């Protein structure tokens, strides 16, 4: 059990049959009335974010989240296969459980699989990944206004905006949290 007074950013709890992670919290002690804790929680299954207020000292069950380091092996239509490097056990994950991570996965990439009671609830990929550009629109000569960009298709099939100097065959670094071009590799 965990008390609402013990909330910290990143703590996971079970509440109303769901698994929630504390994103933000604020302890409030008004002049009149009882103290309370105002929180912003992320549902780890649906990724939705809600604001919730708890009474100070309210108890709830702490959710124990397991993390396993794995390597992305391959995909078959809507199923992505990951392998544990220590046990060589393979895990199959549906594409809809991967979220935006599917746009940046390449074979051999190390990822962290997040599990709750043997249920896979997420895949964490590195913050920055290096991918190859396979197609890019031509840069228009004279189009040098501030931050001029063009469309490019990456080896994963993801479409992204890149600077005009990026050409097919270039390797670029992508910020996976924003899905945007970061720098040339």
- The structure tokens listed for 108 are 């051999």
The token duo for 44 is: 């780890």
pLDDT reported for residue 149:
85
Strand-strand pairing, 18-28 and 36-43: antiparallel
Of 100, 93, 7, 95, whose CA–CA distance to 47 is shortest? 100
- Is the separation of the CB atoms in 73 and 57 below 8 Å? no
Overall average pLDDT of the 12-31 stretch: 91
**pLDDT score for 185:** 81
- Report the DSSP beta bridge partners of residue 40: 24, 51
69-96 pLDDT tens trace = 999 999 888 899 999 988 989 989 888 8
* Distance from C-alpha of 153 to C-alpha of 132, rounded to nearest angstrom: 9
Domains and CATH numbers, the chain: 2-62 (2.30.30.30), 66-124 (2.40.50.140), 128-184 (2.40.50.140)
Does residue 139 register a pLDDT over 80?
A: no
Q: How confident is the model at residue 20 (pLDDT cuts 50, 70, 90)?
A: very high
Instruction: Using pLDDT thresholds of 50, 70 and 90, give the confidence band for residue 142.
Output: low
Question: Using CA atoms, how far apart are residues 82 and 75, in angstroms rounded to an integer?
Answer: 9
Query: In 3-state terms, what secondary structure has residue 37?
Result: strand
Q: How confident is the model at residue 61 (pLDDT cuts 50, 70, 90)?
A: very high
CA distances from 114 to 36, 62, 66, 70 (A): 30, 16, 6, 10
Q: For 6, which DSSP code? A: G
pLDDT at 145 over 70: no
Give the pLDDT band of residue 38 (cuts 50, 70, 90): very high
Q: What's the residue count for the chain? A: 185
């Amino acid at each position: 059990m965990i008390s609402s007074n013990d909330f910290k950013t990143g703590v996971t709890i079970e509440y109303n049959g769901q698994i929630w992670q504390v994103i933000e919290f604020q302890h409030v002690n008004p002049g009149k009335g009882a103290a309370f804790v105002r929180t912003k929680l992320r549902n780890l299954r649906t990724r939705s974010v809600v604001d919730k207020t708890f009474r100070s000292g309210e108890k709830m069950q702490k959710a124990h989240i397991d993390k396993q380091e794995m390597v992305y092996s391959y995909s078959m239509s809507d199923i992505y296969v990951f392998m544990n490097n220590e046990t060589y056990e393979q895990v199959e994950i549906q594409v809809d459980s991967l979220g935006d991570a599917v746009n940046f996965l390449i074979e051999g990439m190390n990822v962290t699989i997040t599990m709750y009671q043997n249920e896979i609830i997420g895949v964490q990929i590195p913050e920055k990944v290096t991918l190859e550009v396979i197609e890019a629109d031509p840069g228009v000569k004279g189009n040098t206004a501030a931050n001029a960009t063009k469309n490019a298709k990456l080896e994963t099939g993801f479409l992204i905006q890149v600077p005009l100097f990026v050409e097919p065959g270039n390797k670029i670094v992508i910020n996976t949290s924003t899905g945007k071009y970061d720098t040339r590799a």
